[in-house]
Amino acid sequence: MVEIRCIVDAKNHLGEGPLWDVKEQRLYWIDSSAAEIYSAKEDGSDVKRYFVPTHIGSMALREKGGAVLALANGFSLYDFETQKLTHIGDPEADEPENRLNDGKVDRRGRFLAGYMAYDHDREDANRGQRPVRNSALYRLDPDLSIHKLDSGIKCSNGPCWSPDNKTFYFCDSYDKVMYAYDYDIETGNVSNRRKFLTAWEHPGTFDGSTVDSEGFIWNAHVFGGRIIRYAPDGRIDRMIEFPVRNLTSVMFGGKNLDVLYCTSMGRPMKGVPQKEATAGGVFAVTGLGVKGIPEPRFAG
């Protein structure tokens, strides 16, 4: 039987990026607009909080300790003990209205993350008034070099890989589309972008994603109040309705990798009802009957 529990009533402004680390057996997540990083035990206890100086889009733990962060001003390394940053680079420094958003690590230890425009938030209430800036998808290699992979993206979200590493999934939340790319695990390059799914037929849009051990894609539909599991051929396998409307991202974790952790948004948005008591909380979904794949660490 599927059970949904709020395990941390975090009241995050913009909770994002649940990350289960197998080595530490801890759950990490962020509050993007509050510029905070959190971690907790499997059951939501022993919550720790860390601070960064600017908006944070995503993070990954490093093999060498600490984390790599996708921040408003580009990529940085982070030391949890000192809470200090080492800046790597900002490939869109000439676009101050763009910030890094969602990102994940491939199974060779590279960190892929894309930008979004701050315009995206401002447009939600009055869409179409002015064009939203385009941004791009980048790869940060273990040697800390940055490589542009794709462009023409408005709001980067949901990066994840098929279990065989041959397909990379990536969402543009603004355009309500999930793309599939051919992925070269040896080089970290993408090719053959095609439209895999659209979200126009459901309330909300694509946000964070993860892939389970069977190759099915799980996606949080922000503003839609549900998680959808998609088969590798694109068909909907199941929907899970949630007690909060603004879910943001998902990842499997727990000691058996069979708990689906979900973050949510607590901030009010114009035109979007936000009345749930646990909005901005972290949720655990159990009883799904499937398992995830261990999340790799950044090799740099």
Q: Looking at the annotation, which residues are catalytic?
A: 207
DSSP 8-state symbol, 223: T
Choose among 213, 128, 212, 219: nearest CA to 178. 219
In Å, the largest CA–CA distance within the chain is 51
If one counts every other C-beta atom within 10 angstroms of the C-beta of residue 261, the result is 27
Q: Are strands 98-105 and 84-89 parallel, antiparallel or unpaired?
A: unpaired
DSSP run (H or E) holding 200: none
State how far the alpha carbon of 48 is from the alpha carbons of 10, 85, 161, 295, 299, in Å: 11, 18, 29, 20, 24
User: Angle 141-147-150 (CA atoms, 0-180°, nearest 5)?
Assistant: 125
